[in-house]
Amino acid sequence: MVTNAYRLFLNRLCQSCPLKTQCALFNKFAEDQERISLESTSLNHSDIQTIDNNLNVSSLQHCFLCIDILHRYTSDEFMQQIKQTAQTATSDFQSFCVNLSLPLNLLIRHAYLTKFLTNFVGECNEKDLPIIKDQWRNLMIDRLEEVLHRPYQIDSPFEINITFDFSGEKEELESLRRFRYADNPKLAKSNANEGFTRQAVTTILNDLTFEDFEQYYKPAINGKTTCTISALHDSVYVAGRYNKYSRTLSQTPWVIDGIRKAETSVEELIALPISKLVNAKDYVFLSSGREDVDVRTLGRGRPFVIEFRHPSRILYLPEEFVTAQHDINTLTKDVRVRDLQQVTKEESNQIKEGEEEKTKCYEALCYTETQIDQTELDQRLASVPNPIVIEQKTPIRVLHRRTVMTRQRSITELSATVIDPYHFRLLLTTQAGTYVKEFVHGDFGRTKPNLTMILDRFVDILELDVLAVNIDFPPSLKNETDENEKDILCDMNGK
């Protein structure tokens, strides 16, 4: 007895189909059934075990096994389409990898053939049948290396994504739905719009027998295959350090309820000029901590990284970043950038590593409501342990955006210089994440101990500057001129 599957195999396999040459079980089946004799005999539907009396095998428009992927989509013309897409996405990629996304109904057909051959020839498993994705790679990768003039690397940062769609996929997936809900038609109706994942399809196929296939499976004979090509490169990372000299400039765009509260930000003053060099779809600005709007960042500045996503170019000369840095520094007096350079993704991770261990140095202008002289100030500061460990509940001013919890932080250096009886400058080195303003005034007792407790009088903070962020990233560049830099003697322990 001849089945629909047999006729589909013999009559509708494209010239590139690996089933013809690489599947010994299929070749044996063809020989056993005397292919030439069968093909020359007119087909009588009464002799066919059929799932659909209206199935017209001769009208099949595609290869049954590969749905033409190994025929139409391995041509020289298709390779040129891949080349054009790749070069348009990123002009100077150094290697490439290829990701294929195939229609789910290929899983169904592969399982069908496996069970078919097992039924008519002998034991057959998935390894006996060629995998379409593997066959496409075998046919195309070497040729793509020649066309693109780049090596193929499985872990390449440049990905060429090829997605195949089959117009009859939904029709064939309905076969699985009929099998799944064969005993419960009502449930089938209520799940009519249920989507199928690759895992769900694989699970159902494991339960199907050859007899189930013959009863429920209806191959889509008129389906057509289409293809979409896209390409993208991993992000480009640009690092540097910035100084912020304004007390009215936020680090990131300041937007509340959709309304901008400031014309610009540190992020925009730095990233937008670099975006003219590194052309990308979008970017993400990251920094080693952040300062409040009214806080300046002095010294060597605060380390930052900008991730440029989906770049159209990935290789840059150091001189190009020197030019971009100069453009930023001449564009505004509020921000200054140094050590601007391209870094790798792995190097960029240093900005977030050791968040709890790194230290920062600050200078604060403080006010006290009762007079204090240098002698008393020194004595009271000397009375506290070194380091001093403080407990900080989430400050009131950030409760709207931070988790309510108590954080333990340490202050390793603490000294002060009197300006007049009511004002003094405070120098301190703290663990990253310390709320310095709250340490000074106590935040209504939410930070303990605090400077108000130590000096036994109310103390408030008038101005705050970040003097150093002690992290060795990014590397300092030679021939950097440090105009307007304030030399700071700062404890560099605990980098």
The per-residue pLDDT for range 432-463, each reduced to its tens digit, is 999 999 999 999 999 999 999 999 999 999 99
Round to whole Å and give the CA distance between 150 and 146: 7
Region 27-47: mean pLDDT is: 49
Of 169, 203, 233, which residue is a domain's last? 233
255-288 per-position pLDDT tens digit: 888 888 888 999 999 999 999 999 999 999 999 9
For residue 233, the surrounding DSSP H or E stretch is strand 225-233
Q: For 63-80, how does the pLDDT look when each residue is reduced to its tens digit (9 = 90+)?
A: 778 888 988 899 999 999
| Higher pLDDT, residue 68 or 478 | 68
Based on the fold, state whether residues 57 and 71 are members of the same structural domain: yes
Question: In this structure, is residue 28 part of a structural domain?
Answer: yes
Mean pLDDT of the chain: 85
User: Are 200 and 124 found together in one domain?
Assistant: yes
pTM of the model: 0.80
Residue 291 placed within a domain: yes
Average pLDDT over residues 354-376: 92
Residue 216 predicted with pLDDT over 80:
yes
User: What tokens does 394 get?
Assistant: 């989430």
Average pLDDT on 297-326 reads: 96
Per annotation, catalytic residue among 212, 292, 378, 460: 292
CA count, 13 A, side-chain hemisphere, 203 = 7
Among 233, 267, 286, the domain boundary falls at 233
Residue 59: which pLDDT band, with cuts at 50, 70 and 90? Answer: very low
- If one counts every other C-beta atom within 10 angstroms of the C-beta of residue 320, the result is 15
| pLDDT exceeds 50 at position 239 | yes
Q: Tell me, yes or no, whether 292 lies in a domain.
A: yes
178 and 253 in a common domain: no
Residue 300 lies in a domain: yes
98-110 tens-digit pLDDT: 999 999 999 998 8
Is residue 9 included in any domain, yes or no? Answer: yes
Percentage above 70 pLDDT, the chain: 82
Q: What is the pLDDT of residue 115?
A: 85
When pLDDT is averaged across residues 18-47 and rounded to a whole number, the result is 55
Task: Tell me: do 268 and 377 sit in the same domain.
Answer: no
Same domain, 388 and 459: yes
Q: Is 292 a catalytic residue?
A: yes
pLDDT at 55 over 90: no
* Domains contained in the chain, number: 3
Q: Is residue 178 part of a domain?
A: yes
For 406, the enclosing helix (H) or strand (E) is: strand 406-420
Asked which of 351, 378, 408 is the last residue of a domain, the reply is 351
Give the burial string for 172-205 (b: 16+ CB within 10 Å, else e).
bbbbbbbbbbeeeeeebeeeeeeebeeeebeebb
* Tens of pLDDT, residues 130-166: 788 998 999 999 999 999 999 999 999 999 999 999 9
Stretch 365-376: mean pLDDT:
96
Which of left, alpha, beta for 68 (phi over 0: left; psi -120 to 50: alpha)? left
